[in-house]
Amino acid sequence: MSKSHAVWLGRALLVGALLVAACGGDGEASDDGALTGTVTVFAAASLTDAFRVLGDAFEAEHAGVSVAFNFGGSSALATQIEEGAPADVIASANDTQLERLSDADLIAGTPQLFALNALVIVVPADNPAGLGTPADLAQPGLRLVLALEDVPAGRYARAVIANLASDPSYGPVFEAAALANVVSEEADVRAVLAKVELGEADAGVVYRTDAAVAGDAVAVIEFPSQHNVVAAYPIAVTSEARNRQAAEAFVAFTLGEAGQRIFAAAGFDLAP
């Protein structure tokens, strides 16, 4: 089975698990005050590895609770919630999606920032296109992959390219030339990473934490800090949460000392 097929199979199995949880996953505090049931967390794809560790740590602290995750592009997750998908918590890679849900009265309370991230260029480990600097994104014939424009990683990537184009050293045609090299737009940032890992693209723009997950499968080219974009991650309980007590506890755990240690270890910067 190819890696891309495995990714999609895993997502399909996860959706099935969430549907099962939705049918009987409501929880409440037990007689001794302990939390019970399932808390369903919708989270941006770039949070996959850190949130799996976070979920394990949360379950270890709350033995009566299980955490079910649905990872994907932040805009797609917001759409799923708008369409009635059962979610107790949502964690996005930008505030746009939570503002959208809040405007629709689908968020309870005020979203809280819990982590920051930055963008990098990833290329296959052997770097067949010979990229050396961000300026090479405009190299003729380059196969560049970005996330879809309505996904935070895709929006951020295009913003960084525009920022580079504003620097006279990159030349007036840099932005148009770089965007003309886009051969694929992916549903989330992990799909961008997979394209590069599989050698189906010469370069992709992902978060620094995604590149760290890929390890030796990719090489990293940094954007100049003055042109980079800071990705901010907010988290909130949904207004339709079926296990509100556990959802609130999960958000508190994410913002707390133990959760913040997990994000720091995964390469995220901590929110102020």
Range of the domain at 193: 117-230
Same domain, 189 and 134: yes
* Model pLDDT for residues 110-126, shown as the tens digit of each residue: 999 999 999 999 999 99
Q: Which two tokens stand for residue 116?
A: 């920051």
Same domain, 43 and 103: yes
Q: Are 64 and 30 in contact (CB under 8 A)?
A: yes
Give dist(CA 195, CA 188) in Å, integer: 11
* Model pLDDT for residues 146-175, shown as the tens digit of each residue: 999 999 999 999 999 999 999 999 988 999
Q: Cα angle at 200 between 5 and 73, to 5 degrees?
A: 60
Same domain, 66 and 159: no
- Label residue 32 by pLDDT band (50, 70, 90): low
- The answer to whether position 270 is within a domain reads no
Q: What is the pTM of this model?
A: 0.85
